[in-house]
Amino acid sequence: MRSRSNSGVRLDYYQRIVHRLILAHQEPVTGLFPASNVNSHAWIRDNVYCILAVWGLSMAYKKIADQDEDRAKCYELEQSCVKLMRGLLMAMMNQKDKVEKFKMTQSPYDSLHAKYSSKNGLPVVGDNEWGHLQIDAVSLYLLILAQMTASGLQIVFSLDEVSFIQNLVFYIESAYSIPDYGIWERGDKTNHGEPELNASSIGMAKAALEAMNELDLFGARGGPASVIHVLADEAHKCQAVLQSMLPRESNSKELDSGLLCVIGFPAFAVDDAQLIHNTKDAILSRLQGKYGCKRFLRDGYRTPKEDPSRLYYERWELRMFENIECEWPLFYCYLILFHAFQNDKRSVEEYASRLEKIMVRSEDGILLVPESYAVPQDLVGFEYQKPGSQLREVVGRCPFLWGQSLFILGRLLQEGFLAVGELDPLNRRLGAQKKPDVVVQVVIIAEDNEIRDKLAEHDLHVQTIAEVAPIEVQPARVLSHLYTYLGRNRKLGLSGRKSRDVGILSTSKLYSLKDRIFAFTPQFADLSRFYIASDNELMIDILKGEINFLKSAWDLLGRPLVTLVLKRIHLDQDKIPLAMIQTMRKLKSGYINGTRVMLGSLKDFLNTSAITDLSFLGSTEDGYPDRLHPDVQTYLDEHLLRSFSNRSTMSLRGGQLRPRTLRRRMSCKGAIKKTRSINVDSDNLGMEGPSPLTERRLSSIVPPPWLQANKQSHVSVFATTPEEGPASSPLQHLGNELSVRENIYPVDPHHSRSAIDRRSEFVRQQEMPKILIQRHRAETNFAETEVEELIAMLRETENLEEQGDILQYLVDTQGLDFNTGMLEEGRVVTVRDLLKGLYEKACQQKLWGLVRHTAGMLGKRVEDLAKAVTDLLVRQKQVTVGMPPNNEHTITAPLPEVELRQLIHDAYGDDESTAMLTQELMVYLAMFIRTEPQLFHEMLRLRVGLIIQVMAKELSRTLNCDGEAASEHLLNLSPFEMKNLLYHILSGKEFAVSSVARGNLSIVSCKSSRVSKKSQIGLGDPEGEDALVATIDDRQGQWLRRRRLDGALNRVPRDFYSRVWTVLEKCQGLAIEGRVLQQSLTQEMTPGELKFALEVETALNQIPQPEYRQLVVEALMVLTLVTEHNMVPTLGGIIYVEHLVHKANQLFLEDQRKVQGDATLCCAKIKDGKEQQQAASGMLLCGGAAYICQHLYDSAPSGSYGTMTYMSRAVALVLDCVPKHGEMECAIS
């Protein structure tokens, strides 16, 4: 036998170690590793990590295999890897029904098990006896499966197994919105079995999705059928959420060492080098100890203070675990690998020497990695006093195979037997390197020749749909349907992809199917979806956003390709809208908003675009892989005919019925307006106000007053009110009820003004039971004739607003499915059909108020609503809908579309317009949080109801009009202007309103030159004096407005919540608006924990008035300054925060009296009897919220008369603990 080279001898040494420590434990039947000699359970995660050392060693042997026996050893090691990976695959395939169910329910009880029996691969505990839902474990399996396959191992044997793996991809693709139990199987750290969103799971899933994309599971020998497909957008969603969470792990764990496997080997899931650095530094500074790292703060596992008799912790006992958490050497192994991949030799050596000091030597001299180190029972007291000072002892398994395996990998890298690229054949480690700029290709296609010619007039030359053949252009929904065939398998009972969502990354590729090539238009351009899509300006805005998104998110081969079809429906009065022409010119110039673009035709871009093969549409299961699946064939054939043909819209004119005589015009005017519930006039934003009569909403079930016992057949609709009784003649009102209200639309003097507008009605009608309407309808003889008259009017009137009022009234009395007696092409026409026709016309004529209202009545919902809400929630923002304080509903977890819509409509009663507006705003908020997350810093809850009120209030301020007109203007803003206004409110930028033709308003930033002096003040043209007042006023209410905005947006100063935690530590509690935050919260939660922030936030949300809420936040900030400067050892008992604010208000008024300030006109007046009475009835002269003078709200925080000064004085006076005498340094920073 020839002598071995040194490297061969050293490898043989590692082979013996791997054999003794790892392979000796592998079960011969299943290939799985039991947890220990006494526990035969095999965890997916631990098993995959265990085998990594074996895989690494096999690749090291492959390189030096100069002798047959080395090749044999190499093969033997490789087969052990295959055996284990297949063992896990079999165990999971036995639970294929769970995979199928989980795609629908995403319930923890339907998830794959986290551990199996190592003897036979069967389940070992029940579905609900363990925290099985651990997405990171399944993701880790898929990631390593992809890496091993890429390194040349053959693990998957049959096409059925391929479809199972494809379904595992669907299983993890929504990881960004599925709370799970995470890498430590605990969920919430109190261990009560509540799953939460974990960054480590999302990161691992993102890595697995990227690694699996376009991977051939049969390696070099495979064909199109064995390729796995991943929709790039799903991986990107995981990435976006991961980036918004790091370095936080979850709501209850502000930091977790488990994130090391996400920022480094094996996942390499983060693309941002700075974020990787920040996360690693946070872990090292707060979790690293002498014996490894703690898993997370206040981790009680295996500490001497843990009660081993129960699984869960009491909330108060978490504080006991602080500073005595176990330290895990495992993380040193991760850090060695992390630095080895960074090629940072010094750090590798440093951690290797640290690790060696804490490893345990076995009898035969092998170094073992223990599971963890704990503080001995008798030294706990000393460790509390001086953390990190005491010697610790090994607890748990030794060797801990997960750590041992990573240690061996690290050694093989250090000694040069392996290169980092061999452990990462898919090159995931290069993700964080800088990429070249992406060029986005844009193709514009005309629907027909006419539109093509119109574009040619503007020097824009495009092709028509017919001319781009043989490439076929389809809407995104076709792609979404084709993807449902992916992963279907009859034998295994697997149904393919469930989610219908295809994002911009998926539609920016070309797709080949046999010899056909498809291009898909993006999802946002699909017009059937929602009324937002018929606002051209908004669509252009979204397009710019998507192009910008492609620039940062695109990482596939080839360039992204955005295909847009310009249709008839986009034309504005038969012209191409100016905004579109301008955008196309910008695209033609080669740059748009800083992104490089190329405008061209499809055939030019064939060679430079990404092309994906849709080979999974073949009938592989029936033995005809080359033929299309019959269902797909029929779908495509049908769809190609239909996809871009125009639908005819219902016409309201012309029907079989002409009225016998033209009857006198009746009027339903104002039927829509009465459903509105945005309340702006009351000064207390969001308050119901002292009297219960403020605008509540009118319930649509209520029978109209004129139905009550009134048998005359010519009664004018809405002409009498119950107070006046049915006796008074309906015609009297026509004269005196002419509309005086501000209305953008011309007022027809024949209309009586709706009398139900009277306030007193609202309350009484709210209590009317729902059954009334049936009885009344039975009694009234004229209902039939009346409906005929209304329908006749409906045909005569050209005014869409009027049609809307008539239809609203018909819906209220007869219901949506009422048969109107008209026929259209032989079909019966219901009220719903007429509404649809009206909705489509309103969309074309851009009457947005009407569009929103009819959309609400038709029960339309924004198609991306659930997705939008999820986008907000997964970035740790909770959402509330409805008007505070009584009707606010908080959404804390993702909900299905239908439930969301129901929740929103419950919150707004019958106010369809505001309910629609809420859905719309949620979509805009989600757009902003994706593109400009910085707008949402320091905001935990987005209160959409308050935001709507603030928007209306801002409009009424800018336009100088009353609340009703303002909410009318708000609901008539076009979607683009609505998004714009929301942006200005979120970013706090000043804006002005300029009026555009047809009564539409446009929101412009104040720096913009488009604003003339006149338009800044309002739509009307007030006389000179008023105009002057308005401009002065603007400057005056500046701080009040700012506090109102910040309060409504729930914005708080930086690190506010963690600073409140330090205040709580020093007092017994903080009382806010009747809710007490107890000191015990500091026992349960760490300062940076999201759960703590939400507790504080919930207390603050009890305060209905935004500006008052902001003063309370300021008072809390003053308290934090007191604690941070250690002025006093303790703050005493429960602190009533509002008491501080009111005390500050008193001091302010005293000062105002001394200097004769503005407040002497209202609150600082010397009181006489009349004033006393007013104050008692709850009204302040100046209209300030919560008995605080308006002028205090409007003071700047700093300065000698600033709010902070008064707050500090109030704190000094109210708290007993602050010394009353002697010198004290008092500087307000």
Is the per-residue pLDDT at 1121 higher than 50? yes
pLDDT of residue 1219: 60
Q: Given its phi and psi angles, is residue 794 left (phi above 0), alpha (psi -120 to 50 degrees) or beta? A: alpha
Least confident of 144-153, 636-645, 708-717, 855-864: 708-717
**Phi, psi for 1051 (deg, rounded to 5):** -90, 140
Q: Which residue has the higher pLDDT, 374 or 309?
A: 374
Average pLDDT for residues 418-438, to the nearest whole number?
90
Least confident of 455-464, 567-576, 1007-1016: 1007-1016
What is the CA angle 25-28-31, rounded to 5? Answer: 75
Average pLDDT for residues 730-752, to the nearest whole number?
36
In angstroms, the CA 112 to CA 178 distance is 14
**884 in Cβ contact with 686 (< 8 Å):** yes
Give the closest residue to 375 by CA, choosing from 319, 289, 303, 320: 303
* Percent with pLDDT over 90 in the chain: 43
What's the pLDDT tens digit per position in 603-639? 999 999 999 988 888 888 888 888 888 888 888 888 7
Average pLDDT for residues 356-382, to the nearest whole number?
94
Percent helix / strand / coil, the chain, rounded to 5: 50, 10, 40
Average pLDDT for residues 915-919, to the nearest whole number?
90
899 Cβ contact partners less than 8 Å away, ≥ 6 residues apart: none
Q: Which residue has the higher pLDDT, 573 or 410?
A: 410
pLDDT of residue 665: 46
DSSP-assigned letter for residue 214:
T
Three-state SS sequence of 606-652: CCCECEEECHHHEEHHHCEEEEECHHHHHHHHHHHHHCCCCCCCCCC
Is the per-residue pLDDT at 521 higher than 80? yes
pLDDT of residue 1220: 56
313 Cβ contact partners less than 8 Å away, ≥ 6 residues apart: 190, 191, 300, 306
1112 Cβ contact partners less than 8 Å away, ≥ 6 residues apart: 1072, 1100, 1103, 1137, 1138, 1141
Is the per-residue pLDDT at 1180 higher than 50? yes
Least confident of 547-551, 651-655, 1093-1097: 651-655
pLDDT of residue 41: 96
**Phi, psi for 1171 (deg, rounded to 5):** -65, -40
Q: Which two tokens stand for residue 512?
A: 């080949």
Please state the length of the chain: 1229
Q: Which two tokens stand for residue 500?
A: 């219908």
> DSSP H helical segments within 673-744, as ranges?
732-736
Average pLDDT for residues 1121-1126, to the nearest whole number?
84
**3-class secondary structure, 474:** strand
pLDDT of residue 534: 78
Q: Which two tokens stand for residue 36?
A: 């220990």
Give the closest residue to 160 by CA, choosing from 217, 205, 198, 215: 217
pLDDT of residue 30: 96
**990 in Cβ contact with 1005 (< 8 Å):** yes
Return mean pLDDT, the chain.
Answer: 81
Least confident of 419-428, 666-675, 941-950: 666-675
* Buried/exposed code over 287-300 (b: 16+ C-beta within 10 A; e: otherwise): bbbebbbbbbbbbb
Average pLDDT for residues 1161-1183, to the nearest whole number?
58
Q: Which residue has the higher pLDDT, 150 or 808?
A: 150
Is the per-residue pLDDT at 908 higher than 50? yes
Is the per-residue pLDDT at 226 higher than 70? yes
Q: Which two tokens stand for residue 431?
A: 């993700």
Radius of gyration of the chain (CA): 35
Is the per-residue pLDDT at 361 higher than 90? yes
Where do we find the tokens 């919902």? 861
**3-class secondary structure, 523:** helix
Is the per-residue pLDDT at 1182 higher than 90? no
* Percent with pLDDT over 70 in the chain: 83
* Buried/exposed code over 527-548 (b: 16+ C-beta within 10 A; e: otherwise): bebbbbbbbbbbbbbbbbbbbb
Average pLDDT for residues 307-317, to the nearest whole number?
86
Q: Residue 570, Cα to own-chain centre: how many angstroms?
A: 30
In angstroms, the CA 303 to CA 355 distance is 21
- Give the helix/strand (H/E) hosting 889: strand 889-891
Average pLDDT for residues 384-399, to the nearest whole number?
93
Is the per-residue pLDDT at 1054 higher than 90? no
Helices H / strands E in the chain, number of each: 46, 31
pLDDT of residue 680: 64
Q: How would residue 785 be classed by pLDDT, with cut points 50, 70 and 90?
A: low
450 Cβ contact partners less than 8 Å away, ≥ 6 residues apart: none
Q: How would residue 744 be classed by pLDDT, with cut points 50, 70 and 90?
A: very low
Give the closest residue to 181 by CA, choosing from 107, 254, 271: 107
Q: Which long-range contacts (CB under 8 A, 24 or more apart) does 705-708 make?
A: 705/755, 705/756, 707/776, 707/777, 707/780, 707/813, 708/776
Is the per-residue pLDDT at 862 higher than 80? no
What's the pLDDT tens digit per position in 755-781? 333 333 333 333 333 333 333 333 344
Is the per-residue pLDDT at 1001 higher than 70? yes
Is the per-residue pLDDT at 51 higher than 50? yes
**852 in Cβ contact with 916 (< 8 Å):** yes
- Which burial class, exposed, middle or buried, applies to 934 when counting CB atoms under 10 A from its CB (0-12, 13-18, 19+)? exposed
CA dihedral (855, 856, 857, 860) in degrees, to 10, reads 60
Is the per-residue pLDDT at 239 higher than 80? yes
Give the closest residue to 870 by CA, choosing from 922, 941, 933, 946: 922
Q: Which residue has the higher pLDDT, 698 or 153?
A: 153
Q: Residue 1108, Cα to own-chain centre: how many angstroms?
A: 28
pTM for this entry? 0.83
In angstroms, the CA 26 to CA 33 distance is 5
Q: How would residue 1201 be classed by pLDDT, with cut points 50, 70 and 90?
A: confident
**3-class secondary structure, 313:** coil
Q: Residue 339, Cβ neighbours under 10 Å: how many?
A: 22
**230 in Cβ contact with 498 (< 8 Å):** no
**Phi, psi for 1126 (deg, rounded to 5):** 50, 45
Least confident of 292-306, 481-495, 515-529, 1020-1034: 1020-1034
pLDDT of residue 776: 37
**1037 in Cβ contact with 1194 (< 8 Å):** yes
Average pLDDT for residues 832-843, to the nearest whole number?
86
Is the per-residue pLDDT at 734 higher than 70? no
Least confident of 256-260, 418-422, 431-435: 431-435
pLDDT of residue 527: 57
pLDDT of residue 140: 98
Is the per-residue pLDDT at 650 higher than 70? no
In angstroms, the CA 46 to CA 49 distance is 5
In angstroms, the CA 1044 to CA 96 distance is 54
Residue type, 792: A
